[in-house]
Amino acid sequence: MKKTLQNLDWSNLGFTYMDTDYRFISYWKDGQWDTGSLDSGNTVTINQGSTALHYGQQVFEGMKAYRTKEGDIQLFRPEENAKRMAKSCQRLMMPDYPVDQFVEAVKAVVKANESWVPPYESGSTLYIRPYMIGVGENIGVKPAAEYIFSIFVMPVGPYFKGGLTPTNFIVSDYDRAAPHGTGAAKVGGNYASSLMPGHLAHQRQFSDCIYLDPATHTKIEEVGSANFFAITHDDVFVTPYSPSILPSITKYSLLYLAEHHLGMKVSEGDVYLDQLGMFKEAGACGTAAVISPIGGIQNGEDFHVFYSETEVGPVTYELYRTLTAIQFGDLEAPEGWIVKI
């Protein structure tokens, strides 16, 4: 059934695709972007030789629009997504989309779909998916001559089923990215390589995989769709640093909030798999995941439980409360974090 605003149950949305009214679309040809426009399409027709289809020349972003108590709509750090997409583009030899134009386009598409932004306190948000693909006639392994940049949106609920209820994760035998590969870029290939390990994890009732550092397989890197953090017994917020993980905007926001709002010590460094006993709490964080507490981690025959398999830990809860209060406009944000629609 095609969803309409009338038959949407805002408080029970999953993380599932839904058509909304408008998308933004822009074309790069002869070395420049056109002005771009909003239309009501939901398909793209591209040449069969497009590099996006054969050689994975495509990048994407994930962000959200939030409805405040007053009924306004706001974005969380959209320039950071624009800058990260520009870096992903550089890595795949794609033309970047200027940061200010990216933010304006996001604002325009959210405004045009304003009635699809879920109500305050419904537990849902408007997910925004910008992407760029290499298109046009091509067969050799080389950057495309033409590109499409588009942004579409849809209302979503929690990414991991439990929301703030902890779920369990499993250490994967596979890598999502190579040591000097594209792990830090938000490119489809990283997600393609995570599909099979993700499927194996789901088959065993785990929420997702934990990927280890691809060079030594001794340190936690990240989750397939979110970054990893943990809290030591003496309240240090720890998160892995690695050139092969996606630099999560949520994670860097949490690092700041843990230090400046919660008065915690923070550290970005190695998280050794054989030292999980150092931590009293752990979680996955990202735009889609928000903060998803990690109940336990399965590693081979070992199962390590952090705070609890059923209850969110107090520090994780406090981080969640602070982050979401800022995103929904209930707490003053650090300068520049909030962009009003």
- Closest approach of ligand PLP to the CB of residue 222, in Å: 5
Spot the catalytic one: 186, 251, 265, 340.
Answer: 186
Question: Quick check: 62 binds ligand PLP (CB under 6 A)?
Answer: yes
Question: Quick check: 62 binds ligand COI (CB under 6 A)?
Answer: yes
- Among 175, 208, 221, 222, the residue binding ligand PLP under the rule CB under 6 A is 222
Q: Give which of 71, 77, 161 is closest to 121, Cα–Cα.
A: 71
> How far does CA 173 lie from the centroid of its chain?
23
For residues 126 and 231, give the distance between their C-alpha atoms in angstroms, rounded to a whole number.
Answer: 30
Pinpoint the alpha helices (H) of the chain: 51-54, 78-91, 99-112, 188-203, 249-260, 314-327
Using an 8 Å Cβ cutoff, are 83 and 9 in contact? no
Q: Which residue is listed with tokens 């495509």?
A: 58
Q: Give which of 264, 306, 258, 263 is closest to 282, Cα–Cα.
A: 306
- Closest approach of ligand PLP to the CB of residue 104, in Å: 20
**Whose Cβ is closer to ligand COI: residue 130's or residue 146's?**
130
* Among ligand PLP, ligand COI, none, partner that 248 touches (CB below 5 to 8 angstroms by kind): ligand PLP
**Whose Cβ is closer to ligand COI: residue 168's or residue 248's?**
248
Question: Quick check: 144 binds ligand COI (CB under 6 A)?
Answer: no
Query: What φ, ψ does residue 214 adopt, rounded to 5°?
Result: -70, -20
Core vs surface per residue 122-150: b (16+ CB within 10 A) or e: bebbbbbebbbbbbbebeeeeebebbbbb
- Among 201, 220, 226, 230, the residue binding ligand PLP under the rule CB under 6 A is 226
Span interacting with ligand PLP, options 104-112, 124-132, 246-254, 273-281, rule CB under 6 A: 246-254
Question: Quick check: 287 binds ligand COI (CB under 6 A)?
Answer: yes
For residues 129 and 23, give the distance between their C-alpha atoms in angstroms, rounded to a whole number.
Answer: 10
Cα separation values, 203 from 12, 170, 292, 317, Å: 24, 11, 20, 28
- Among 135, 212, 249, 326, the residue binding ligand PLP under the rule CB under 6 A is 249
Question: Quick check: 286 binds ligand COI (CB under 6 A)?
Answer: yes
Per-position x/- string for 176-215, each x denoting binding to ligand COI as judged by CB under 6 A, each - no binding: ----------------------------------------
Has 186 been annotated as catalytic?
yes
Given the rule CB under 6 A, which residues bind ligand PLP?
62, 222, 225-227, 246, 248-251, 286-287
Active site residues: 186
